Chains A and B, each alone.
Chain A
Amino acid sequence: MNAIEVNHLRRVYRAQIGVFNRSIKEVVAVDDISFEVKQGELFGLLGPNGAGKTTTVKMLTTLLIPSAGSATVAGVDVVKGANEVRKKIGFIFGGERGLYWRLSGDDNLRYFASLYGVDPSVSKKRIPYLMELVGLKGRGNERVGGYSRGMKQRLHVARTLLHDPDILFLDEPTIGLDPVGAREFRNVILDLQSQKKTILLTTHYMFEADALSDRIAIINKGCVIAMDTPSGLKKHVSDLSVVEVETFGASETALEKLRALPFVDSLSIEDREQKQILLVQTTRGAEAVPDVMTALEGQRVGRVIVREPTLEDAYVRLVGGAA
């Protein structure tokens, strides 16, 4: 049995726009999504903002009724068996809200444990264990209002593990965390993965999806546009190399010349303080470098490197192509 099965799931929101001339606007948040997640797998849902990730997770966690299609979690239909599903899953929607800020960390966990019907003798041992797992040992007596954002987000992880669910839904769990906080968070996720939990993780950080996921579905505009292992997805761009060129105030005409080169697949530019990094996707590998340099003649150029494509390059090609 698969831990999660999603069959042609669809969700349309009806939003009222305009105060005076009331018209109803339909937003297709999830158009037609199907996938399966095996037991113990860490499955990544990757996609740009507004792709429909959160909407999908809400339907799978019984918080939103699908407009069409169906899904089962732990073999139970998420609409008909909602209460059964709730006992078997844990979930987090990224961000620091959703906790009782006036209560201590421990009391938040006690409250949610009571809602999940966890036996008091069990939660008494489990709460300190979970606080330690998420790196909040010794902070359980403090009011959550005084926690940092990262601490609150980690407390959410502890909250979601109270009833020891087998399946976890983590919707952008690292959103808004600083790099150190995000790394600590990823270590917690790795810990859960080693405990054989099934995890559905949504994120729009590529390296995060790449580092953690067994398989990834890339979704865009409410549809799955690719689904594979991270290395499988990178094969989509295995014909490509990326030439990274550091420039300082490269002119628009030079960039145009670069784009016009026949072997340049795509050009994207990352701005970094005074300099820019030009990312040239090409099928010619290192041989492309002299021509790239010619196109940039007269510009101030720094470091030049040629590298293998990353998941991000695959993503840019896939999402860019579908857009």
Chain B
Amino acid sequence: MNTFTKNIYLFWQGTILSYRALFAWLRPVTYMASKILMPLAQMFFFVFLGSYATDGTATDFYVIGNAIQITAVSGIFGVTFSVGGDRDAGTLPYLFGTPANRFMIFFGRAFMHVIDGTIGVIIALTWGVLLMGLDLSRTDLPALGLTIIITTFSTCGLGLLMGCLSLLTANVMFVNNFVYFSLLIFSGANVAISTLPVWMQVVSNVLPLTRGIAASRMLVAGGSLSDVFPLMVSEIGIGLMYGLLGYFLFAWFETQAKQRGTLETV
């Protein structure tokens, strides 16, 4: 093996192992429930509530919004577990005692969740087609697929930042829930963003998901890749911004811990 393939292999191996090591829904039953039933429950709830409120004229709006939003289960909860889990496992000293590239460790923790989150959205959309009358006949499916991957990526970026916060505080589950439920509103999954007060629109604009949901709605309605291209570029930018902020926080955490002696060792 040459150095390049060796490094790819090691990254891949580390990524898969850390996913299995640190992700809470390891048991197949819990995992399947979170993957298949949880999206269904969330979609039923909001789709029926929303359809009722709009006299059934805007069902697709809620179906697509909530299906894409499902990616935050992996992007926020999953990634946070994967970054913060080392704190509970007591592995931080052993992790930071290795010469491994910190950038690789950090982004490796999110990698599998991008795949996982994408699958979650596809399952949710399938529920939409099967049970909620979602019509994808006019949709550019490859473009929709790309949008889902990009949206999941940017949501994972926010998750990486949250994960770093979980290294600093033990109360992160509260923060996670808060972020997840805020996204239900701010991302435009369940409310048209234009109807929100201005300050909320500002928040919407700096969050991941917002543009991804908007782009998905455009694609389902028959839009083309070039229509959603600008949205997708900004979505990638937002994901990178949060991911890099997270990485700098991660690097800062390591330095601080070494200076202050807070890298717990049992």
Contact = CB atoms under 8 A, between A and B. Distances in A.
Main secondary structure of the interface of A (DSSP, over half): mixed
Nearest to A88: B99
Contact of B89 (A54, A65, A101, A114): A101
Interface in B1-30: 1, 6-7, 9-11, 13-14, 17-18, 20-22, 26
A120 B21 contact: no
Main secondary structure of the interface of B (DSSP, over half): helix
B91 interface: yes
Contact of B10 (A13, A58, A97, A117): A117
A1 B22 CA distance: 41
Given A93-B265, A98-B266, A116 B98 contact: yes
Contact of A63 (B21, B89, B263, B266): B263
A207 interface: no
B13 A110 contact: yes
B197 interface: no
B21 A102 contact: yes
A300 interface: no
Contact of A121 (B1, B18, B258): B1
B14 A114 contact: yes
A63 B10 contact: no
B84 to A, nearest CB: 14
A111 B91 CA distance: 12
Contacts of A91: 97
22 contacts: A11-B261, A58-B261, A62-B97, A63-B258, A63-B263, A64-B258, A64-B261, A93-B265, A98-B89, A98-B91, A98-B93, A99-B89, A102-B21, A103-B17, A107-B21, A111-B17, A114-B100, A115-B14, A115-B100, A117-B99, A119-B1, A119-B6
Given A98-B91, A159-B94, 11 more contacts: A55-B261, A86-B97, A97-B89, A97-B266, A98-B94, A98-B265, A100-B91, A116-B99, A116-B100, A117-B10, A120-B9
Interface of A: 11, 13-14, 54-55, 58, 61-65, 83, 86-87, 91, 93-95, 97-103, 107-108, 110-112, 114-117, 119-121, 159
Interface of B: 1, 6-7, 9-11, 13-14, 17-18, 20-22, 26, 89-91, 93-100, 105, 258-261, 263, 265-266
